[in-house]
Amino acid sequence: FPIGHYALSAARHMHQYGTTLEHLAHVAVTARKWAGLNPKAWSREPLTLDEAMASPMLCDPLRKVDCCLVTDGGGVVIVTSKERARDARKKPVRVLGAGESHCQWHVAQCPDLTVTPGVVSGREAFGMAGITPSDVDVLEPYDNFTHAVLLYLEDLGFCKKGEAGDFIAEGRLAPGGSLPALTSGGGLSYNHPGALGILLLIEAVRQLRHEAGARQVKDAEIAVAHGTGGLAFSTASTVVLARE
């Protein structure tokens, strides 16, 4: 656990929508490209698509590179009022919207292994913020497994169901792409300390403050952090942040 549970979801998405092993490998390669720009990333050595495809199979269809790191780490997020934030040493970042949802607990209870509670949490967060997916400059998804990123792209509305594999293969999430994502290197290449969600928020804030150094997304104004939890896509939460 939990690789077997997530492998079920990945296999179902492949069966239902024609997603390929190469599509999953593109997620790992994209995360590694960003990690190469992050001096604190755990895995920074270049990763080619051929190398990713040759990675050992752990639980069909998930290979070693499809699975996140197991590392240590932590973080802190301070939330305060707009008035108090004006006195802060660093430029504040606004919370425009937030949403959360719970669908089931055990994987055997999933009504659809290709759909996550992010459909609801994303709709709530985007609605509260008054934005659409096309307004997002940076996406920080919870990449505990490569195929999870595909599901989030579809459930949050960045592409239609079954289109995420090609969306990523076109390089849209990579440096210079139309939707920069996994910009720290993510759980796949940067750091996965267990509660990775806080690191998604921290990276989003760094991008919006324009403090990300070599991996900085140019003119980043709106960022979305999105995570899931529980026993295989049981819960989801989405936060929309904006540069003040």
Specify the pairing of strand 235-243 against strand 93-102: antiparallel
Place of tokens 């949490």: 121
Sign of CA dihedral 207, 209, 212, 213: positive
Strand partners, 93: 243
Strand partners, 94: 242
Type of residue at 50: D
CA distance 38 to 21: 26
> Which of 6, 17, 152, 190 does the annotation list as catalytic?
190
Please give the structure tokens belonging to residue 119.
């459909």
Whether 190 sits among the annotated catalytic residues: the reply is yes
Which residues are known to be catalytic?
Answer: 142, 190
